[in-house]
Amino acid sequence: MNAIVSTHNLSKRYGDAYRVNEVNLEVHEGEVYGFLGPNGAGKSTTLKMLLGLVKPSSGKVVVFGKEFDKNRLSILRQTGSLIESPSYYGHLTGLENMRIMQRLHDVPDKNVCEALKIVRLENHKDKKAGLYSLGMKQRLGIAMALIAFPKLLILDEPTNGLDPAGIGEIRELIKSLPQRYGITVLLSSHLLSEIEQIATSVGIISDGKLLFQGSMEALQSKSQPRIAIKTVDNETAHVLLYRQGFHSVIEDDALIVKEMNDEQTAFANRMLVQAGIDVIRIEERRKSLERIFLELTGKEKSL
Amino acid sequence: MLIKSLAAEWLKMRKSYIWSILAALPAVSILIGTANYYANKSVLTNGWYSLWTQVSLFYGEFFLPVLIAICCAYLCRLEHFNKNWYQVMTAPVSRSAIFISKLAIAGIMMLIVQAFFLLLYFCAGKVLGLASPFPIETVGWMSRGLYASIAISAVQLALSIRIRSFAVPIGISICAAFIGLGMYVMKLGMFYPYSLLTIGIGALSQESLTIAENGLFLAMNSLFIVIVSAIAIRYLSKRDVVA
> Do residues A132 and A276 share a domain?
no
Say which CATH number the domain at A262 has.
3.30.70
Same domain, A214 and A229: no
- Same domain membership, residue A82 and residue A41: yes
Q: What is the pLDDT of residues B52-82, one digit of tens each?
A: 999 998 899 899 999 999 999 999 999 999 9
Q: Searching chain B, which residue's CA lies closest to the CA of residue A129?
A: B82
- State the sign of the Cα–Cα–Cα–Cα dihedral A273, A279, A282, A285: negative
Asked whether residue A35 is assigned to any structural domain, the reply reads yes
In sequence order, which ranges of chain A are alpha helices (DSSP H)? Answer: 43-50, 72-77, 94-105, 109-118, 134-146, 164-181, 192-198, 216-220, 234-243, 262-274, 289-297
User: How far is the C-alpha of B56 from the C-alpha of B199, rounded, in Å?
Assistant: 11
Same-domain pairing of A71 and A39 = yes
A100·B11 Cβ contact <8 A:
yes
pLDDT class for A251, splitting at 50, 70, 90? confident
Please check whether residues A12 and A131 belong to one and the same domain. Answer: yes
Give B148-184 pLDDT, tens digit per residue: 999 999 999 999 999 999 999 999 999 999 999 999 9
**A164 and A49, same structural domain?**
yes
Closest-CA distance, A261 to chain B, in angstroms, reads 54
Of the candidates B8, B81, B86, which has its C-beta nearest A53's C-beta?
Answer: B86
Residues of B near A (CB-CB distance < 8 A)? 4-5, 7-8, 11-12, 15-17, 78, 81-84, 86-87, 89-94, 238, 240-241, 243
Q: Is residue A41 part of a domain?
A: yes
User: Binning pLDDT at 50, 70 and 90, where does residue A254 land?
Assistant: confident
How many whole angstroms separate alpha carbon A87 and alpha carbon B82?
Answer: 5
Which residues neighbour B195 within 8 Å (Cβ) at sequence distance 6 or greater?
B180, B181, B183, B184, B188, B189
The pLDDT, as a whole number, for residue A65 is 94
For residue A75, is it within any domain? yes
Q: According to the model, what pLDDT value does residue A225 have?
A: 77
Tell me the pairing of strands A184-189 and A32-36.
parallel
Domain boundary among A205, A220, A235: A220
Q: Do A53 and B89 touch (CB under 8 A)?
A: yes
Question: Which chain A residues are within 8 Å of B97, Cβ to Cβ?
Answer: none
Mean pLDDT, chain B, as a whole number? Answer: 92
Write the ipTM.
Answer: 0.89
State whether A24 and A171 are in the same domain.
yes
Average pLDDT over residues A242-259: 84
Q: Are A129 and A172 members of one domain?
A: yes
Residue A148 and residue A270 in one domain: no
Q: How many whole angstroms separate alpha carbon B157 and alpha carbon A113?
A: 34
Q: What is the pLDDT of residue A303?
A: 38
Which CATH number fits the domain that encloses residue A113?
Answer: 3.40.50.300
Give which of A44, A103, A144 to mutate to test B binding, by max B Cβ within 10 Å. Answer: A103
pLDDT in tens, B129-156: 888 889 988 988 999 999 999 999 999 9
Domain ranges, residue A252: 225-286
Count of structural domains, chain A: 2
| Res. A290: pLDDT tops 80 | no
Same domain, A118 and A201: yes
Q: How many CB pairs under 8 A join A and B?
A: 79
Do A16 and A153 belong to one domain? Answer: yes
At residue A148 the predicted structure's pLDDT band, cuts being 50, 70 and 90, is: very high
The Cα of B117 is separated from the nearest Cα of chain A by a number of Å equal to 27
CB contact under 8 A, B83 and A87: yes
A296 in a domain, yes or no? no
Q: Residue A278, exposed/middle/buried by CB under 10 A (0-12, 13-18, 19+)?
A: exposed
Residue A300: its pLDDT value, please? 54
Q: What's the rounded Cα separation, in Å, for the pair A193 and B231?
A: 47
> Are A169 and A259 found together in one domain?
no
